[in-house]
Amino acid sequence: MIINYPLAMNDLNMLEQTLLNDHLDGLESESIYIIREVVSQCANPAMLFSGGKDSIVMFHLARKAFQFGQRPIKLPFPIVHIDTGHNYPEVIQFRDQVVRETGVKLIVGFVEDSIAKGSVKLRKATDSRNADQAVTLLETIADYQFDALMGGARRDEEKARAKERIFSFRDEFGQWDPKAQRPELWNLYNARISQGENMRVFPISNWTELDVWQYIAREQLALPRIYYTHKREVVRKNNLLIPVTTITPKAPSNLSEVLDVRFRTVGDISCTCPVFSFASTPQDIIAETAITEITERGATRMDDQTNEASMERRKKEGYF
């Protein structure tokens, strides 16, 4: 399905207003407070970094949290990337560039290693590895003995996320129990855990997709270039544009075409689809996001569509 973005007068007015975005200062302050709490309360925290826009925003917030004038910024925790092996090269290049430029410590957990070890079994090599990230994530947590992991999930993304705490407790199996969450009062976060247990913390819980793009524009954050319009060979299927890649080759019966597209999320190749778009700047994307009719995950994630409750089930299994 090709999404049209009808620009009505009313929307333009709304756009002007949203560009004033002074609410970002408040969201920013809340997120920085949360990141600093993690560093204060947890002995060995880390921050997930995928090279996606939400993790780029979170990483930028972390750097602002620990920026002291002219001093070189030194984050008191490493970043962790769970690598499915099915990446767009632009995203990995971007990740490595961030590491080079900021000097942050990067730890990569490879799903390939979990497959080699036997803890992840695929039916066939090209199966989506998105759900298997949970296994590699838990193995990485165990290997490095992290007691808290910060993630860039937002509550507006999905129904199960809307109910998750900012400090989300996980048991020894990395599982989330939605019926036994700790009450979260004021800004008094309780990160206490016992040995083997774990905290997942979501500093940008209260941001929406629009907030994220406004912030990227305001702070002039660099993103992997596939977030902006580019030509790509795709196959139209089930209202999605499936990119033609080595992981997702086109079947002989499929017709492919080259379209102007951009990615709204840049996860595992096997389950991330681009949308039709000519947007080449954050401002263009804000104009689209403010009035788009399709939520981020719905338009672009093959796996979430399969089952209405798929996120809830995956979270219970330890997924982020």
Partner 1 sequence: MDHATSRNVVRFITAGSVDDGKSTLIGRLLYDTKSILVDQLESLSKTKHARVTSADAGFDLALLTDGLEAEREQGITIDVAYRYFSTPTRKFIVADAPGHEQYTRNLVTGASQSDVAVILVDASRVALGTSPATLLAQTKRHAAIVHLLGLRHVVFAVNKMDLFEFEEQRFNAIAASIKDLAQKIGLTNPSIIPISALLGANVVSPSHQTPWYKGPTLLAWLEGLDTRALSEQLGLRIPIQYVARQDGSASDDFRGYLGQIESGRLYKGQKIKVLPCHVEATIGQIYLANHSQGEHCNSTQSAHTGDAVTIQLVEDIDVSRGSLFIDAQDANPPTPSKQIVADLCWLDTEPLSLCRKYALRHTTNTVAAKIKGVKRVLDIETLSHGTDIHALKANEIGRVELTLQQPIAADTFNQSSGTGAFILIDEASNHTVAAGLIIQAH
**Pairing relationship of beta strands 79-83 and 45-48 according to DSSP bridges:** parallel
CB of 108 to partner 1, least distance (A): 25
Q: Which of 53, 81, 155, 170 binds partner 1 (CB under 8 A)?
A: 155
Chain-centroid distance of CA 317 in Å reads 18
CB of 62 to partner 1, least distance (A): 10
Mask for 209-228, x = binds partner 1 (CB under 8 A): -xx------xx---------
Could you tell me the CA-to-CA distances from 309 to 12, 159, 248, 271 in Å, in that order? 35, 9, 25, 17
CB of 85 to partner 1, least distance (A): 29
d(CA 120, CA 132): 7
Q: Which is nearer to partner 1, 91 or 311 (CB)?
A: 311
Q: Which is nearer to partner 1, 7 or 14 (CB)?
A: 14
Q: Which is nearer to partner 1, 77 or 88 (CB)?
A: 77
By CB under 8 A, is residue 105 in contact with partner 1? no
Return the DSSP state at 9. Answer: H
Could you tell me how many residues of this chain bind partner 1 (CB under 8 A)? 66
CB of 283 to partner 1, least distance (A): 15
Q: Are 202 and 35 in contact (CB under 8 A)?
A: no
By CB under 8 A, is residue 18 in contact with partner 1? yes
Q: Which is nearer to partner 1, 37 or 132 (CB)?
A: 37
Q: Which stretch binds partner 1 (CB under 8 A): 13-21, 122-130, 222-230, 261-269?
A: 13-21
CB of 194 to partner 1, least distance (A): 7
Find all residues with CB under 8 Å of 204, minimum gap 6, and list them: 27, 31, 54, 57, 58, 61, 152, 153, 154, 212
> DSSP characters for 156-220?
GG-TTGGG--SEEEE-TT----GGGPPP-BTTB------TT-EEEE-TTTT--HHHHHHHHHHHT
Give strand pairing partners of 82.
109
d(CA 215, CA 294): 21
Q: Which stretch binds partner 1 (CB under 8 A): 80-88, 190-198, 222-230, 242-250?
A: 190-198
Binding residues for partner 1 restricted to 68-97, rule: CB under 8 A? 68-71, 76
Could you tell me the CA-to-CA distances from 43 to 49, 66, 149, 227 in Å, in that order? 19, 17, 11, 35
By CB under 8 A, is residue 159 in contact with partner 1? yes
By CB under 8 A, is residue 306 in contact with partner 1? no
Residue 165: name the closest of 37, 63, 6 by CA. Answer: 37
d(CA 118, CA 307): 27
Q: Which stretch binds partner 1 (CB under 8 A): 50-58, 102-110, 116-124, 181-189?
A: 181-189
Residues that bind partner 1 (CB under 8 A): 13-14, 17-18, 20, 22-30, 32-33, 36-37, 39-40, 64-71, 76, 155-156, 159-160, 162-163, 178-179, 181-188, 190, 192-194, 205-206, 208, 210-211, 218-219, 292-295, 298-299, 308-309, 312-313
